[in-house]
Chains A and B, each alone.
Chain A
Amino acid sequence: MEVKENKVPISEKLTDNENFLKEKIGVGTSFDLGVRKIHVLKREVHIYYCNGLCDTQYLIELLKQIVRINDNERQTAQAKQIIENRLVHQQVSPVHHLDEAVDRLLSGLIVIFIEGESTGFVVDVRSYPGRQPEEPDTEKVVRGARDGYVENIIVNTALTRRRIRDERLRFEILQVGERSKTDICIAYIKDVADPGLVELVKRELQQINIDGLTMGDKTIEEFLVKQGYNPYPLVRYTERPDVAATHLLEGHVLVMVDTSPSVIITPTTFFHHVQHAEEYRQSPAVGTFVRWVRFLGILTSLFLLPLWVLFVLEPSLLPDKWAFIGPNKQTNIPIIIQILLADFGIEFLRMAAIHTPTPLSTAMGLIAAVLIGQIAIDVGLFVPEVILYVSVAAIGSFATPSYELSIANKISRLLLIIVVALFKVPGLMIGTTVYLLWLIHIRSLNTPYLWPFIPFDPAAFMQIIVRRSAAGAKVRPSIVHPQNRRRQPS
């Protein structure tokens, strides 16, 4: 991809270079590309820049230094060396081909051509528009670091490096996208991560053939794990550098994509999606409690509604003491329709809340909670219990730490409700069995999705059920095949 046979060398005549750039990238046509022409030691020097992507202050400083050469130096023959010396910046590198120069120019570096020389210089004065690290909305914690990844890959690697100063931490960069040339970085710790996995990820990334990665890491994920129409998230995203650093130390391989404020953690299982940084910011007992409550929430979001529908349809299944469950009033609309309507109603609300400005969404929440629910009952559309159970199930979804997982669970729940309504007990049992078997058969980067539940790994499963104290967690999870099993070198 990167090796092109007929590369155009930099010409000693500056007009040739200028014409090439005019034709190739439209200097003079595109307003964001510009050139500054100055004379140094009786030679013409062209400085090309991309105005939004480079820092004007640095550029001016560099220009000052170069122009001053005329006052201090006399040796015209050594213009190239003198100019290189006066480029007061730590990242200066020579270029020999115009194509390479174009790539650099378009990523925000400045390119300097000197009359009579076939070598140019590129200086990294990039300054991309972007925001400062701030706490990610989706992974808030009560205590703990408030910085989060941003859209700039350099800042993201820096945030990670700040947490792991290990000499064996590697950030390998490559470019993907025929047109977008997006930077992608594979992060791993060399003596911990499974070299086979690093190799696999690298190979998959290199095979990507696409013109642009406008949706950032999501696009990469779809190539990486070949998701198809499987709704379940096969990789975990995080916007928190501390979570990312933890996974690096466990032996995971991270993929960072420029322009995405989240990184991809591979390999991932179902149970990676039900953990949250908050559990590790509280004491182990509290963390364990929070986790159990969360598991309960997730199970509720999946199975409460199908079970309730089943008991409404076949009240004889209930033990005598539980006979109060089920609608007391006569209903006008079949329960199954009511459930589906209410569930979709909540989905409307959720979607509307995403793209409604905050002041309006408060009002919207009010309308939803007070008016719709109550009136739907008053007019006889819903029985009160439908509202209750659908709400509890919805709150269970919201308690799922991974947004992707909660939506996937929602789809599974709808399917389960429908098979229960159609086939009663056999529907529930066969539906659940097929659902579980299907989850079991999923493999993400050769990792069984339901590990460590099925296939069962006693030690690893304990780590899921109980949030271990940092001092008690002695070994890295075996599923990432760490080269170095023990966390605490003794």
Chain B
Amino acid sequence: MAENQAQFEQNKRERPMSLLMKVMIIGFIGGVFWSLLGYLAYFFHFTEISPNMILLPWVAGDWKYGKLGNYIAIFLIGLLSILVALIYYVVLRQIKGMWAGVLYGFVLWLAVFYGLNPLFPNLEAVAQLERNTIITTLCLYVLYGVFIGYSISFETQEMNRQTQSPEANK
């Protein structure tokens, strides 16, 4: 009983840390989930771009074009998404609701497809992409943005709620 109590106390003390942990998990899962869906969309030719896009510039070897390459890329996107989530956490977490997330996803899409375009030799300029590709990737980015943004802002609100009413967590 005393042990549990102690553990419970510990949980309480580490609360800010656990929010950060949650943000990182949200980022990772978000990246993996939505890029998996992206891979599915690629499989059905909704888009010309598959998750292995991020591997192509700097990895040698043919495996990067196959399934393995894609799964590794999906994992890497998950890791990158932790960064994406942390940026949202630092900059936008106090904004309530989901629309900031929608915008965040849209901005991310702009950043990747316009800003980072020179980094990816295989990525054509947006004007040359198929209409389906643009729409599919844009939709996925928006949903990805909402996933990360809304989750983080909701967690932040819950955290604020708990600190405002300390007896709520006895």
Contacts and interface: CB of A to CB of B under 8 A. Distances in A.
A456 B146 CA distance: 10
Interface string B25-47: 11001100000000001011110
Residue of A430, A455, A481, A484 with highest tally of chain B CB at under 10 A: A455
A458 B29 contact: yes
B111 interface: no
Chain A interface residue number, banded: 20 to 34
Contact of B1 (A317, A455, A458, A490): A490
Contacts of A317: 44-46
A457 B8 CA distance: 20
A455 B5 CA distance: 30
A441 B98 contact: yes
Nearest to B131: A426
B150 A425 contact: no
A425 B168 contact: no
Interface string B99-135: 0001000000000000000000000000000011001
A437 B138 CA distance: 14
B158 A425 contact: no
A319 B44 contact: yes
Contact of B98 (A432, A437, A458): A437
A68 to B, nearest CB: 57
B142 A455 contact: no
Contact of B4 (A428, A429, A478, A490): A490
A448 interface: yes
B44 A456 contact: no
B95 interface: no
Interface in A438-458: 440-441, 448, 451, 454-458
Nearest to B148: A456
A486 B98 CA distance: 30
25 contacts: A316-B45, A317-B46, A319-B43, A424-B132, A425-B46, A425-B135, A429-B41, A430-B135, A432-B139, A437-B98, A440-B146, A440-B150, A448-B154, A454-B147, A454-B151, A455-B154, A455-B155, A456-B30, A457-B151, A481-B161, A481-B168, A483-B167, A484-B170, A485-B169, A490-B1
Given A319-B44, A429-B46, A481-B161, 12 more contacts: A425-B135, A437-B98, A437-B142, A440-B98, A440-B146, A441-B98, A454-B150, A455-B153, A456-B151, A457-B155, A458-B29, A486-B8
Interface of B: 1, 4-5, 8, 22, 25-26, 29-30, 41, 43-46, 98, 102, 131-132, 135-136, 139, 142-143, 146-147, 150-155, 158, 161, 167-170
Q: Which 8 A-B pairs have the closest CB atoms?
A: A455-B154, A456-B151, A455-B151, A433-B139, A490-B4, A429-B139, A425-B132, A426-B135
